[in-house]
Structure formats: C-alpha cells, structure tokens
Amino acid sequence: QGAVSAVNKEIPVLQCHGDCDPLVPLRFGSLTVEKLKSMINPANVTFRTYSGMMHSSSIEEMMDVKQFIDKHLPPVD
C-alpha cells in the first residue's frame, strides 16, 4: 500500500453497489468506500447503492455513471 500523491487526493470517485449482491456483499462495498475516504478527499467520494440489484448493473446505475462522467470529464468532439 503506497501513499496517494497530492494530485490524486482530489480525484472524483463514484462507487456503485447493489444491496442484494450475492458475490460481493454490500458490507464490503461500504468498507471499501470508507477506506477510499481515508485515502483521498472524502468530499470527492460518492457511494451509491441500488435496491434489489444483484451482481449486475441497472438502468438507474448507468444513468448515475453517465451523469458522473458528464460532470467530471470534458466532452469529446
């Protein structure tokens, strides 16, 4: 485990997790987001959970990912 450089401490992170995931329990997602918040600026870490979602994705999650990308990345010409 190395130190996080000052530049990377301000990187925005979106972490998504289904609350019914049988492979990666929600508890592990919660632990991961807390670890991330201890390593980088916690204000830049967003953790979203999706009701009823298993180890998969959903339209709601993909819309959140799209909004995150639109907000943080410049448009591609």
Give the per-residue pLDDT at 5: 82
Give me 51's structure tokens. Answer: 């009701």
Give the per-residue pLDDT at 4: 77
Hey, CA dihedral for 15, 19, 20, 26, is it positive or negative?
Answer: positive
Up-side HSE of residue 72: CA atoms within 13 Å toward CB? 14
Q: Does the predicted TM-score (pTM) go above 0.85?
A: yes
Q: Is the separation of the CB atoms in 23 and 53 below 8 Å? A: no
Helices (H) and strands (E) in the chain — how many of each? 2, 2
Q: How confident is the model at residue 2 (pLDDT cuts 50, 70, 90)?
A: low
Give the per-residue pLDDT at 36: 94
Give the per-residue pLDDT at 64: 98
Q: Could you report the per-residue pLDDT of 19-47, keeping only the tens digit for each?
A: 999 999 999 999 999 999 999 999 999 99
Q: Closest by alpha carbon to 4, among 19, 13, 65, 60? A: 13
